Amino acid sequence: MAFEFRLKKVLKYRQDQKELAKEELSNRRRELDLLQDELQGLHGKGQALLNFYRERQAKAIDVRLLRNIENYRSHLQECTERKQQECRQSSSKVEEQRQVVLGFWKNCQVLKKLQEKSFMDYQQEEKQKEQYFHDELSLRLYLRHGR
């Protein structure tokens, strides 16, 4: 009789849940990375605008150009603030999902420990059966040859 863990289906189900949670964590992490890349791009644009303004400061600046620079700077600042808020929200989602994955991992570890213990009990039981069989065989041989 081969060993079969009685909670095998539960373990498989929890491992599948853990894998799905890991995939979700990966997706959320990818979203966070994209948001951070966009935020870096906005910072780069803001720096480029600042450099452009400094270069033009030495020269005469047209009022329309100055107004356009200020409007663009204001727009970049608003976009940056929105992206920072999205990054914070995404970061909290990543952390929540990390906790979910950790919970599924712990559940799987508990079941794996139970499986190991069950297997050890099975091996012990098989050893006892084998020992009993050998004892019976030895006793019969002794009794047969002893007469």
Measured distance CA(97)–CA(28) in Å, rounded: 8
Residue 55: predicted pLDDT: 82
SS3 annotation, 48-84: HHHHHHHHHHCCCCCHHHHHHHHHHHHHHHHHHHHHH
- Give the pLDDT of residue 85: 96
Residue 125 placed within a domain:
no
Please check whether residue 42 lies inside any domain of the structure: yes
* Count of domains for the chain: 1
Residue 135, domain member (yes or no): no
**How does pLDDT run across 93-104, given as a tens digit for each residue?**
999 999 999 999
| Domain range for 20 | 8-109
Residues 32 and 76: beta-carbon distance below 8 Å: no
Res 31 pLDDT > 80: yes
Q: Is 48 within a domain?
A: yes
Q: For position 29, which CATH number holds?
A: 1.10.287.1700
pLDDT tens for each residue of 129-146:
999 999 999 988 888 886
In a domain? residue 139: no
- Mean of the per-residue pLDDT values for the chain? 91
66-79 residue pLDDT tens? 899 899 999 999 99
Which whole number is the average pLDDT over 25-37?
Answer: 96
CA dihedral 98, 103, 109, 115 (to 10 degrees): -140
